[in-house]
C-alpha cells in the first residue's frame, strides 16, 4: 500500500470557513451530542433495569440506543473538536478506521430498525404466534444477524477505501471520512468503484427502506380489524418507528443512492443521520410511550 499512496493525512474542510459560524456550530452540536448521549443512556439503563427488557420491542430498542451512541461517536467528537481549530486534519489510518466504523455501526442500526419493524408486524398481524416467533433465543439470533450484516456491509467498503491510490490531493470536502469524498481525491478512474459502492450502500438502503415501508402499510391495513384502543396503541408505537425511519433513511438515500459524486448539501444531509436522528430517537420513543415513562420513573426516581 505504501507505493500506492503519497499522503499520510487528509484535510477535512468541515461545514464552513466562517469563524463565527464555526463557534455557533461548536456550541450547538456539543449540546446535541451531550443530549444524545444522555437520552440514549437513560433509555438503555431504564430498559435494562426494568421488566421491559424481557419484551422483544424494548430489547431491540435498548440495542438501538446503544448503537446510536456507537454510531454517532465515530464522527461527532472529532467533528466538534475540529470546529475550534483552523487546520482540520485526520491521519490516513484514522480516516480508514472511520470509514469502516461509520458503515459498520450504520448498517447495524439499519438492520435493527428492520428487526423492530418485523417485531411490530408479528405483534399486530400475528398476535397469537407472537411469543413463539419472537422468543428470547430468536431475538438474540436476530441481533447476531444484525451485527453480521454490519460486518458484511462494512468490510467491502473498507477494502475499497484502503485500495484507493492517493497521489497528492488530500482535501476532503466533508466533516468526516466517507467513501464518496475519498473517491474524489483518489488518483485513478473510480467509475467502476462508484458503481460497486452504489450497489453496496445505495441499493441496500433503498431496498431496506421499501421493505420497511411495505411492512408498515400491511400493519396499517391489519389495524382496521382491531378495536379503537388497540389501533390507538399500535399507531402510537408504529408512528414512533416511522418517524425514526424517515429521519434516518431519507438523508441516507440521498447520500448513497446516486452516481459517485459529491455535493455541498451532502454535509447537511449527513448531519441528519449522524447527529440529529440519533439525538431525537430517545424523545420519539418515550414522548408518547406510557410504558417507557413508567420504567424511567421507577428506575430514576
pLDDT bracket for residue 4 (50, 70, 90): low
Q: Which residues contact 301 (CB under 8 A, 6 or more apart)?
A: none
User: How much is the pLDDT for 3?
Assistant: 40
Average the pLDDT over 27-44 and give the result: 93
In tens, the pLDDT along 140-154 reads 999 999 999 999 999
Mean residue pLDDT of the chain comes to: 86
pLDDT bracket for residue 5 (50, 70, 90): low
What cell does 222 get?
391489519
Taking residue 5's Cβ as centre, other Cβ atoms within 10 Å add up to 17
Half-sphere exposure of 96 (CA within 13 A, CB side): 17
Average the pLDDT over 261-285 and give the result: 83
User: How much is the pLDDT for 291?
Assistant: 83
Neighbour-count burial for 33-68, b at 16+ CB within 10 Å, e otherwise:
bebbbebbebbbbbbeebebeebbbbbbbbbbbbbb
User: How much is the pLDDT for 146?
Assistant: 95
Neighbour-count burial for 255-280, b at 16+ CB within 10 Å, e otherwise:
bbeeebebeeebbebbbbbbbbbbbb
In tens, the pLDDT along 81-112 reads 999 988 899 999 999 999 999 999 999 999 99
- Cα separation, 264 vs 268, whole angstroms: 8
Contact 111, 145 (CB under 8 A): yes
Q: Which residues contact 159 (CB under 8 A, 6 or more apart)?
A: none
Q: What is the CA 197 to chain-centroid distance, rounded?
A: 17
- Cα separation, 119 vs 226, whole angstroms: 18
In tens, the pLDDT along 111-120 reads 998 998 898 8
Amino acid at each position: 500500500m505504501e507505493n500506492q499512496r503519497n499522503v499520510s493525512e487528509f484535510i477535512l474542510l468541515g461545514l464552513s470557513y466562517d469563524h463565527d459560524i464555526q463557534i455557533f456550530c461548536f456550541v450547538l452540536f456539543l449540546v446535541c451530542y451531550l443530549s444524545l448521549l444522555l437520552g440514549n443512556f437513560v433509555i438503555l439503563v431504564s430498559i435494562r433495569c426494568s421488566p421491559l427488557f424481557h419484551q422483544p420491542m424494548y430489547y431491540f430498542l435498548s440495542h438501538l440506543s446503544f448503537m446510536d451512541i456507537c454510531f454517532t461517536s465515530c464522527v461527532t467528537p472529532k467533528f466538534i473538536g475540529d470546529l475550534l481549530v483552523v487546520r482540520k486534519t485526520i491521519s490516513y489510518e484514522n480516516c480508514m478506521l472511520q470509514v469502516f466504523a461509520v458503515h459498520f455501526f450504520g448498517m447495524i442500526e439499519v438492520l435493527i430498525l428492520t428487526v423492530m419493524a418485523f417485531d411490530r408486524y408479528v405483534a399486530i398481524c400475528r398476535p397469537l404466534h407472537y411469543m413463539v416467533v419472537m422468543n428470547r433465543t430468536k431475538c438474540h439470533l436476530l441481533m447476531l444477524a444484525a451485527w453480521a450484516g454490519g460486518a458484511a456491509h462494512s468490510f467491502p467498503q473498507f477494502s475499497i477505501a484502503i485500495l484507493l491510490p492517493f497521489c497528492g490531493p488530500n482535501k476532503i470536502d466533508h466533516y468526516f471520512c466517507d467513501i464518496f469524498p475519498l473517491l474524489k481525491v483518489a488518483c485513478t478512474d473510480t467509475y467502476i468503484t462508484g458503481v460497486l459502492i452504489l450497489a453496496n450502500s445505495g441499493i441496500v438502503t433503498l431496498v431496506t427502506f421499501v421493505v420497511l415501508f411495505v411492512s408498515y402499510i400491511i400493519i396499517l391495513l391489519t389495524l382496521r380489524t382491531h378495536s379503537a384502543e388497540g389501533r390507538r396503541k399500535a399507531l402510537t408505537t408504529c408512528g414512533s418507528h416511522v418517524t425514526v425511519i424517515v429521519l434516518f433513511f431519507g438523508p441516507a438515500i440521498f447520500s448513497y443512492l446516486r452516481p459517485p459524486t459529491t455535493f455541498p448539501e451532502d454535509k447537511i444531509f449527513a448531519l441528519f443521520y449522524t447527529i440529529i436522528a440519533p439525538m431525537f430517537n430517545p424523545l420519539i420513543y418515550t414522548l408518547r410511550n406510557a410504558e417507557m415513562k413508567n420504567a424511567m420513573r421507577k428506575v430514576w426516581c
